[in-house]
């Protein structure tokens, strides 16, 4: 093949690929959601004089063009393959593969963030429950078990725990780190597996002084094809997890009141799997993220009767709270990422209940999200 | 600005410098200018430039991790910055069979490169519209 012909083929190929891509972009309808990335995709921006002159249109169009690119998921997989296997890079967009698991880099430790979290907990205690028994526990993120031993940088978890303990006087710390391991977390997700939380739930119950009511007699219910949050971020073909949720007469008989929607559901909201609104199967646990939920166990008996817990939590709390239901008549879950602390008194009645702050190390390291 | 400085002020001095020093000057200028491009703000850029000249620890856990992570890319980039790949292709092309092979592989390589570059664009890790910031 002579140079002229080769160059013509090159030019023709380039034009075909770019023109073909452009045509596909025009023909293919815009998508609203990316299931793999768990987010809404940017839509075509409105063309207004203000937007164009202000530069906002260009930025918005840039986001739109990338989000609606034809074959986006395939291209993301190609990039992930290049990143991990050709260039031998250790992570792709902060997501790494280790021991058959997918983890997310979380480093370095933000001491100011940990101190901010401690300050938030202390101010909540002072404002709403100065005389209650208050506890604090941290959920180690998966990187605690995977990062350092596989050559990835990790948080200084010891420092984080000591910063929190030193700055939360009067709040009792319950250590959960030794009750967990990498295999107790979903492979494709950040969260822990509910069916593996016996030791963790028992440790919490013991720390809260309610272990005499703690039971572990559950039926496992399996939901196949759980593609966790890291699956989309890794952008590589990975076998899905099986999500297991645990039921018992206690969980079946309990009701969950949502202060936001003023609606009542069960502990496990299977409607989330089919309503088309949720992009996360993990939302089965207590219907996903909510500002204030009140879980009531009408069958509470013995010492659990009349016992109440306020659980300040992030998403990890959704799957462990049902495992403490035998120990309490009421568990109120509060997520101060979704409600400002100043308004809590309007939704939660504080009258001397046990209080537990249960947060993942990722949230503590980014505590600006706690309002 | 550097070009202006070179034309008006530094030109003669640079011409008199040994080649090695001129090359080092160019590398330094390129490094500093890329740091300015990369920075989201002037203070961030200032900190990054200060880090080049002792304003940051020589090594850090993050730095060593980045070095390990980008090692292959750095090697490929270093190789690509030399005349070696071009010389190798020219040598292969010098033979009849080699010339045909290069003619066939070049468009395929270019197409693959276009797809890979597109993949990186789509993943959002690289924004080619760098100059939108200015």
Q: What is the pLDDT of residues A25-64, one digit of tens each?
A: 888 888 887 777 777 788 888 888 887 888 788 888 888 8
pLDDT recorded at residue A282: 92
Tokens 């272990």 belong to residue: A211
A88 Cβ under 8 Å from any chain B Cβ:
yes
**A69-80: average pLDDT:** 89
B15 in a domain, yes or no?
yes
In which band, very low, low, confident or very high, does the pLDDT at B129 lie, cut at 50, 70 and 90?
Answer: very low
How many domains in chain B?
Answer: 1
Helix axes B96-122, B84-93, angle to 10 degrees: 140
- Report pLDDT digits (tens) over A214-250: 999 999 999 998 989 888 888 888 899 999 999 999 9
pLDDT recorded at residue A118: 97
pLDDT recorded at residue B84: 93
Average pLDDT over chain A reads 91
Please state which of the ranges A39-48, A106-115, A160-169, A323-332 shows the lowest mean pLDDT.
Answer: A39-48
Identify the closest residue of chain B to A3 by CA–CA distance: B103
B63 in a domain, yes or no?
no
Q: Is pLDDT at A275 greater than 80 in this prediction?
A: no
B104 in a domain, yes or no?
no
**Number of Cβ atoms within 10 Å of the Cβ of A234:** 25
Q: Do B122 and A76 lie within an 8 Å CB cutoff?
A: yes
Identify the closest residue of chain B to A56 by CA–CA distance: B132
B96 in a domain, yes or no?
no
Express as a percent the part of chain A with pLDDT over 90. Answer: 65
pLDDT recorded at residue A277: 64
pLDDT recorded at residue B126: 44
Joined together, the tokens standing for residue A28 give 């293919």
Joined together, the tokens standing for residue A174 give 């319950």
List helix spans (H) across chain A: 3-27, 49-54, 56-67, 72-81, 111-128, 143-146, 157-166, 198-208, 229-234, 249-253, 316-320, 361-364
pLDDT recorded at residue A55: 77
**A346-367: average pLDDT:** 94
**A93-113: average pLDDT:** 92
A10 Cβ under 8 Å from any chain B Cβ:
yes
pLDDT recorded at residue B131: 43
**B12-31: average pLDDT:** 83
ipTM (interface pTM): 0.77
Express as a percent the part of chain A with pLDDT over 70. Answer: 98
**Measuring CA to CA, how many Å separate A137 from each of A191, A204, A205, A364?**
16, 8, 12, 11
B73 Cβ under 8 Å from any chain A Cβ:
yes
Identify the closest residue of chain A to B124 by CA–CA distance: A66
The total number of residues shown for chain A amounts to 371
B18 in a domain, yes or no?
yes
B112 Cβ under 8 Å from any chain A Cβ:
no
pLDDT recorded at residue A320: 97
pLDDT recorded at residue B128: 44
Between CA A159 and CA A355 the distance in angstroms is: 24
A61 Cβ under 8 Å from any chain B Cβ:
no
For A93, left (φ over 0), alpha (ψ -120 to 50), or beta? left
**Residue with the larger pLDDT of the pair A87 and A17:** A87
Q: Which of A78, A93, A107 sits opposite B125 (nearest CB)?
A: A93
Q: Classify the C-alpha dihedral B68-B69-B72-B75 as positive or negative.
A: negative
**Number of Cβ atoms within 10 Å of the Cβ of A227:** 20
User: Is 0.95 surpassed by the pTM of this model?
Assistant: no
Range of the domain at B43: 1-56
Identify the closest residue of chain B to A235 by CA–CA distance: B123
B36 in a domain, yes or no?
yes
Tokens 């390990």 belong to residue: B68
pLDDT recorded at residue B133: 39
Residues of B in contact with A79 (CB under 8 A): 116, 119-120, 122-123, 125
Q: What is the largest CA-CA distance in chain B?
A: 57
- A and B: number of Cβ contacts within 8 A: 81
B127 in a domain, yes or no?
no
Long-range contacts of A10-19 (CB under 8 A, 24+ apart): A10/B106, A10/B107, A10/B110, A13/B107, A13/B110, A13/B111, A14/B110, A14/B114, A17/B111, A17/B114, A17/B115
A9 Cβ under 8 Å from any chain B Cβ:
yes
**B49-59: average pLDDT:** 80
């Amino acid at each position: 093949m002579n140079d002229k012909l080769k160059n013509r083929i090159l030019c023709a190929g380039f034009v075909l690929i770019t023109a073909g891509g452009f045509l596909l972009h025009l023909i293919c309808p815009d998508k609203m959601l990316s299931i793999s990335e768990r987010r809404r995709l940017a839509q075509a921006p409105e063309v207004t004089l203000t937007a164009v002159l202000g530069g906002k249109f260009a930025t918005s169009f840039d986001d739109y063009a990338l989000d609606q690119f034809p074959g986006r998921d395939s291209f993301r997989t190609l990039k992930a393959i290049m990143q991990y296997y050709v260039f031998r890079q250790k992570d792709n967009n902060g997501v790494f593969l280790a021991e058959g698991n997918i983890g997310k880099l979380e480093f370095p430790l933000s001491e100011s963030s940990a101190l901010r979290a401690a300050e938030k907990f202390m101010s909540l205690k002072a404002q709403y429950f100065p005389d209650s028994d208050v506890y604090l526990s941290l959920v180690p993120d998966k990187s605690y078990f995977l990062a350092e031993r596989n050559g990835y940088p990790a948080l200084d978890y010891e420092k984080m725990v000591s910063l929190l303990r030193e700055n939360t006087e009067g709040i009792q710390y319950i250590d959960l780190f030794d009750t967990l391991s990498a295999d107790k977390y979903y492979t494709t997700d950040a969260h822990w597996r509910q069916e593996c939380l016996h030791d963790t739930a028992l440790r919490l119950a013991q720390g809260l002084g309610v272990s005499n009511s703690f039971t572990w007699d559950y039926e496992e219910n399996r939901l196949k094809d759980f593609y966790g949050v890291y699956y989309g971020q890794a952008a590589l073909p990975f076998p899905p997890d099986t999500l297991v949720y645990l039921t018992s007469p206690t969980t079946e008989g309990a009701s969950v009141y949502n202060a936001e929607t003023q609606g009542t559901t069960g502990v496990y909201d299977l409607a989330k799997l089919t309503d088309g609104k949720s992009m996360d199967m993990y939302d089965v646990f207590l219907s996903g993220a909510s500002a204030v939920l009140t879980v009531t166990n009408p069958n509470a008996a013995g010492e659990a009767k009349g016992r109440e817990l306020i659980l300040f939590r992030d998403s990890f709390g959704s799957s462990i709270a049902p495992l403490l239901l035998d120990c309490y008549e009421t568990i109120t879950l509060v997520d101060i990422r979704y409600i400002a602390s100043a308004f809590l008194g309007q939704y939660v009645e504080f009258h001397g209940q046990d209080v537990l702050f249960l947060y993942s190390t990722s949230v503590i390291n980014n505590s600006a999200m706690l309002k | 600005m550097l070009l202006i400085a070179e034309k008006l002020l530094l030109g003669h001095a640079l011409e008199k410098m040994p080649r090695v020093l001129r090359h080092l000057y160019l590398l330094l200028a390129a490094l500093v200018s890329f740091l300015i491009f990369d920075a989201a703000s002037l203070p961030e850029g200032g900190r990054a430039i200060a880090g080049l000249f002792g304003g940051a620890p020589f090594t850090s856990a993050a730095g060593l991790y980045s070095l390990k992570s980008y090692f292959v890319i750095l090697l490929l980039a270093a190789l690509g910055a030399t005349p070696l790949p071009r010389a190798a292709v020219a040598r292969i092309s010098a033979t009849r069979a080699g010339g045909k092979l290069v003619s066939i592989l070049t468009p395929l390589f270019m197409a693959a490169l276009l797809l890979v570059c597109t993949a990186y664009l789509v993943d959002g890790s690289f924004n080619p519209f760098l100059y939108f910031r200015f």
